[in-house]
Amino acid sequence: MSTTTSSASSIDENIQRLYASHRALADRFCYTFRRATVSPKSAPYVLFLGNHSAGKSSFINYLLGDTSVQDVGIAPTDDAFTFLLYGEEERDVVGPAALEMLPAELARLNDFGPELVQRVRVKVRKRDVLRNVVLVDSPGMIDASEKSISRGYDFFGVIKFLAEITDLVLMMFDPDKPGTTGEAVEAMTGPLTGFFFKLRLIFNKCDRFTSMYDYARAYGALCWNLAHALPIKDLPKIYNCFLPGRAPAAGATINLHDFDALREEIVNEIKSANARRADNIQMAVNKDLTCLEMHVRMAVRVRRALARYQWAAWALLAGSMLLFTAAGFLVADNWGKSFQEVAGWGDGFIYGLKMLGVLALSSLAGFVFFAIKRSCINRFLEQQVVDLDKTFEVEYNRELSLGTRDDLRQFWALTKPVLAGLFRARWRKLPIFPWGALRRLQRDVAQVTHA
Ligand X SMILES: Nc1nc2c(ncn2[C@@H]2O[C@H](COP(=O)(O)OP(=O)(O)OP(=O)(O)O)[C@@H](O)[C@H]2O)c(=O)[nH]1
- Residues in the site for Mg ion, rule: CB under 5 A? 57, 77-78
- Residue 412 binds which of ligand X, Mg ion, none (CB < 5-8 A, kind-dependent): none
Smallest gap from residue 137 Cβ to ligand X (A): 7
Smallest gap from residue 246 Cβ to ligand X (A): 5
User: Is 205 one of the binding residues for ligand X (CB under 6 A)?
Assistant: yes
Smallest gap from residue 292 Cβ to ligand X (A): 37
Residue nearest to Mg ion (CB): 57
44, 55, 191, 434: which one binds ligand X (CB under 6 A): 55
164, 186, 207, 288: which one binds ligand X (CB under 6 A): 207
Smallest gap from residue 414 Cβ to ligand X (A): 28
25, 46, 49, 54: which one binds ligand X (CB under 6 A): 54
Phi/psi for 45 (5° steps) reads -115, 145
User: Is 204 one of the binding residues for ligand X (CB under 6 A)?
Assistant: yes
How, if at all, do strands 134-137 and 81-86 pair?
Answer: antiparallel
Judged by CB, which is closer to ligand X: 263, or 297? 263
Judged by CB, which is closer to ligand X: 239, or 396? 239
User: Is 175 one of the binding residues for ligand X (CB under 6 A)?
Assistant: no
- Residue 160 binds which of ligand X, Mg ion, none (CB < 5-8 A, kind-dependent): none
User: Is 362 one of the binding residues for ligand X (CB under 6 A)?
Assistant: no
Smallest gap from residue 207 Cβ to ligand X (A): 5
Site string for ligand X, 104-143 (x = CB under 6 A): ------------------------------------x---
The secondary structure of the chain, three-state, reads CHHHHHHHHHHHHHHHHHHHHHHHHHHHCCCCCCCCCCCCCCCCEEEEEEECCCCHHHHHHHHHCCCCCCCCCCCCCCCCEEEEEECCCCEEEECHHHHHHCCHHHHHHHHHCHHHHCCEEEEEECCHHHHCCEEEECCCECCCCHHHCCCCCCHHHHHHHHHHHCCEEEEEEECCECCCCHHHHHHHHCCCCCCHHHEEEEECCHHHCCCHHHHHHHHHHHHHHHHHHCCCCCCCCEEECCCCCCCCCCCCCCCCHHHHHHHHHHHHHHHCHHHHHHHHHHHHHHHHHHHHHHHHHHHHHHHHHHHHHHHHHHHHHHHHHHHHHHHHHHHHHHCCCCHHHCCHHHHHHHHHHHHHHHHHHHHHHHHHHHHHHHHHHHHHHHHHHHCHHHHHHHHCHHHHHHCCCCHHHHHHHHHHHHHHHHHHHHHHHCCCCCCHHHHHHHHHHHHHHHC
26, 57, 276, 388: which one binds ligand X (CB under 6 A): 57
User: Is 287 one of the binding residues for ligand X (CB under 6 A)?
Assistant: no
Site string for ligand X, 393-432 (x = CB under 6 A): ----------------------------------------
31, 44, 58, 385: which one binds ligand X (CB under 6 A): 58
Choose among 300, 301, 289: nearest CA to 411: 289
Smallest gap from residue 48 Cβ to ligand X (A): 8
User: Is 73 one of the binding residues for ligand X (CB under 6 A)?
Assistant: yes
Residue nearest to ligand X (CB): 140
29, 35, 36, 77: which one binds ligand X (CB under 6 A): 77
Q: Which residues bind ligand X (CB under 6 A)?
A: 50, 52-58, 72-74, 76-78, 140, 204-205, 207-208, 242-243, 246
